[in-house]
Amino acid sequence: MTDWQPWAATLADKLAAESAIADDQWRAAFEGTPRHVFVPRYWELDEYNRPSRLVDGAISAHRPEWLEAAYTDRFLVTQWVADEDRRVVTSSASLPSLVARMLHILDVADGHRVLEIGTGTGYNAALLCHRVGAQKVVSVDIDAGLVADAAGRLNTVGYAPTVVAGDGALGVKGHGPYDRILSTCATRGVPPAWIDQLADGGRIVTPLTMGGALAVLTKSGPDEVSGHFDVEQAWFMAMRPATRAMPVGFLADQPQPVSDELAGLGVSSLEPKALADPDFRLWLLLHQPTLHFVEHFDNELAHAGLTVHDGADIATALRRADGPLHVRQSSPRRLWDTVEVAWRSWIDHHKPRRDRLGIAATTDDIQYAWLDHPARHQGGGGRAGVFRWPLLA
């Protein structure tokens, strides 16, 4: 296909108009990289966010739909596996506007050596090759099949970066130190190998498995990094070992309702709409990292309620008309009590946006999130006190 350039230029124009692309060099990269080569086929999702219909660029009847999707600002599912009765996504082409945002905050410069964690389709690696040169790009993915396909696509468009099949949590020794490390899979914390392989003053950009948090970290010492969360959300599949697929966060299993014999009944003064605030969700997950959320709607109320569950315990709060939230929660671990405690804490600290939060991490697995400062937070009355949450169990 030789007429893809107008499509790529249109996508770059859209990203620039929305301020996702912030400089001419990245604009040139998006204009000069044929995304369709890296997404030869994809699966449409059904109403339950499950992969359902294959759209294949090799089928002539599919080509108009496939080409338009390849150059639209949308994420595209490119691989999934069957896990019992579920279809679990294992690879996708990320939202181009999010790709552009992450590349912007990565803040690469000429001569920088970049390690990408999560090769996926190879599109992100191609953008990096366009910007810094293929000889400066190293990419790793746990899936050897994805690595082989991505390397072939990169070769098709004229790039030959170092592409490795391996555990991304271990980085890639022998090619560093890296000035920049970019992860396209979510992690619970910061793998120590990344810190060890990062050059002094280097930067890590990685999404976390909590609340769509996107960490922007700088190597502040020989064995430590620290930095803030970006103001934007970034949802990615979790990093996974080779033998187990990890579902996308929004495909979490639906919980079973609280049985009558286990239910603790009560009311809550919290507003369902307020509970949908993504920054509060992140704050809550720092208190209880294993929570999943299921929102409830009805024809009259935009937000009728919320269920929180962690696989073992569950709490559901529902509102009818203009009345209070009626809460049912299992015992003895009363999850809604945790929601209310986190809410009061969030209010007491002036509803902090996610960019007031950050991470400090060391190579010996001392890792925690913090509010306003890595070490200390000014409490009531001017008294200094530590306000932080552990990231690793």
Pairwise CA distance, residues 335 & 312, whole Å: 10
Is residue 91 annotated as a catalytic residue, yes or no? Answer: no
Pairwise CA distance, residues 192 & 196, whole Å: 6
Catalytic pick among 94, 97, 139, 268: 94
Pairwise CA distance, residues 221 & 239, whole Å: 26
Alpha helices per DSSP H over the chain: 5-17, 24-31, 35-38, 63-70, 96-106, 123-132, 144-156, 192-197, 272-275, 278-287, 335-348
- In three-state secondary structure terms, 273 is helix
Burial class (CB in 10 A: 0-12, 13-18, 19+), 393: exposed
Nearest CA-CA partner of 8 in 22, 24, 29: 29
Pairing of strands 263-268, 224-229: unpaired
Burial class (CB in 10 A: 0-12, 13-18, 19+), 32: middle
Pairwise CA distance, residues 305 & 301, whole Å: 9
CA quadruple 84, 87, 91, 97: dihedral positive or negative?
Answer: negative
CA angle 66, 137, 146 (to 5 degrees): 45
Q: What tokens appear for 13 in the block? A: 């124009």
CA 42 from chain center: how many Å?
Answer: 20
Residues written for the chain:
393
Burial class (CB in 10 A: 0-12, 13-18, 19+), 222: exposed
Q: What tokens appear for 115 in the block? A: 């390690």
Hey, what amino acid is at 229?
F
Pairwise CA distance, residues 194 & 178, whole Å: 9
DSSP 208: B
DSSP 91: E
Catalytic residues: 94
